[in-house]
Amino acid sequence: MIVNQLVEKAMKKAQGAQATLRQSESTKVSFENDKLKSAQSSQRTQINVKVIVDGKVGTSHTTDVHDLDGVVTRALESAEFGSPAHFQFPGLQAGTEVKVYDEEVLPVTKPEMIQTAQEMMDLVKEYNSDILLGADVRKKVSKTEFANSSGTEFANENTDFGTWVHGQLVRGTDILHAGHGLSWKKRAIDHVAIARQVIEWFRMAENIVPIKSGDMPVIFAPVGMGVLSLTLVLGLNGKNVLLGSSPLAGKRGEKIADQRFSLTDNPLIDYAGNSSKYDGEGIPRQVTPLIENGVVRNFLYDLDTAGRAGTKTTGHGTGCNPTNLLIKEGDTPYEEMVRSITEGLLVLDVMGLGQGNPISGEFSVNLQLGYKMEKGEIVGRVKDVMLAGNVYDALNDIVAIGDKAEWLSAFGGSHSIPPIQIGSLSVVAR
């Protein structure tokens, strides 16, 4: 394999070396403003080399498979100015098999992808022809080769398939956006169900209703949980913990959320968006409990950060980023949550990061799509509303967790998230 050649070349001067070759072929069909915008395929090759020379780390990258000598030379040269090496390249370790390749993805043609996108748009148009629509269908087949100087060597193939549909409805000065989609490593995605979910969100927004400012109960739908989950992703990142920028630093073993709240990182789910047998550093993937019954159990580490922190990698290299996050389901049906609320807010989507500080947990965000609940029913969409609070305060004020989680694509993976009801947050209506 090419990666073995790269390691062999690097080891003439380095004390340790690692090489990765990734090759992929992607096809994407995209609709915009009700019309086909593009249907194109592309190929990509990337070679990454990492070395340890005299106790320092050097890296280099190239997209040219004929530039083997050059990419190795640049990695060796960069080590002179590199950071200290707090790790050694790992030897071969057995990993857990996980399904990440689906042969059904390969034969999907561009006409079939166009048809899938058109079917989603047609369904939404049947509900309301005034909605201006876009849609995307994507597939990718990729191969990764990996080797290091400690004897770790592997190759794998992955597939990815995803569908999305999104719409905009303009009524006078009012502009309503709604969209949904899912990326998976398997062909079997129910694009009809995705379109029907978007229709339901538009239907729920037919009536625009006023809402008063004040503290009130809030239900975060699974797709709206990004407000809370982004803070947790940043807070549980081992690099942020090491640097002290995470408010969870030093809180392993401490309670930071309601006892019903548990969060796990699981890269070993067949066909989930970020599943794999090994991470990018040749470490076997593992299931990592992050929060159990409200208590912080682990952080996410790659080799370098774990070495600097004096702990072990969790198989999340490079960058200490999550794979597939799972929030444990509760025992309360979503419908029961809604019925329990006299007056409150249902959050579907927010506009960006707002004016808060995601890593600290403080948030102040404008709602892009939210609904008012009144006397146990969803009565309509709210406009010009801001939601404010602190994520960790909210996680300690959980009233109920839904009994059915939904798979969503976010943070580079597929995540299983149930709806969560918070006792009280600040709602500001303008």
CA distance 282 to 154: 8
CA distance 240 to 359: 9
Q: Which domain holds residue 225?
A: 207-430
Q: Are residues 211 and 330 in the same domain?
A: yes
> Is pLDDT at 56 greater than 90 in this prediction?
yes
**Residue pair 164/195 in contact by the 8 Å Cβ criterion:** no
Average pLDDT for the chain: 96
Q: Are residues 97 and 222 in the same domain?
A: no
Q: Are residues 42 and 76 in the same domain?
A: yes
Rg (CA), the chain: 24
What is the structure's pLDDT at 409?
Answer: 85
Number of domains, the chain: 2
Q: Are residues 239 and 370 in the same domain?
A: yes
Among 68-82, 106-120, 133-147, 221-235, the least confident range: 221-235
pTM score of the predicted model: 0.95
Q: Are strands 420-429 and 385-390 parallel, antiparallel or unpaired?
A: antiparallel
Beta bridge partners of 381: 208, 371
Place of tokens 């550093």: 281
The CATH number of residue 51's host domain is 3.30.2290.10
Q: Are residues 46 and 167 in the same domain?
A: yes
Q: Which of 169, 203, 237 is the last residue of a domain?
A: 203
**Residue pair 298/289 in contact by the 8 Å Cβ criterion:** yes
Give the pLDDT confidence of 205-259 residue by residue, as tens digits. Answer: 999 999 999 999 999 999 999 889 999 999 999 999 999 999 999 999 999 999 9
Q: Are residues 31 and 176 in the same domain?
A: yes
Separation of first and last alpha carbons in the chain: 62
**Residue pair 388/353 in contact by the 8 Å Cβ criterion:** no
Q: Are residues 262 and 198 in the same domain?
A: no
Q: Which of 203, 238, 262 is the last residue of a domain?
A: 203
**Residue pair 324/272 in contact by the 8 Å Cβ criterion:** yes
Q: Which of 296, 336, 306 is nearest to 419 (CA)?
A: 336
Q: Are residues 396 and 293 in the same domain?
A: yes
> Is pLDDT at 355 greater than 70 in this prediction?
no
Q: Which of 203, 231, 256 is the last residue of a domain?
A: 203
Token readout for 65 is: 């498979």
Q: Are residues 428 and 310 in the same domain?
A: yes
Q: Are residues 159 and 14 in the same domain?
A: yes
Q: Are residues 149 and 227 in the same domain?
A: no
Give the pLDDT confidence of 367-402 residue by residue, as tens digits. Answer: 999 999 999 999 999 999 999 999 999 999 999 999
Can you list the alpha helix ranges (DSSP code H) found in 128-254?
191-204, 226-235, 238-243
Token readout for 101 is: 């390749």
Place of tokens 């004897």: 151
Q: Are residues 139 and 263 in the same domain?
A: no
Average pLDDT on 4-20 reads 98
Q: Which of 178, 215, 152 is nearest to 20 (CA)?
A: 152
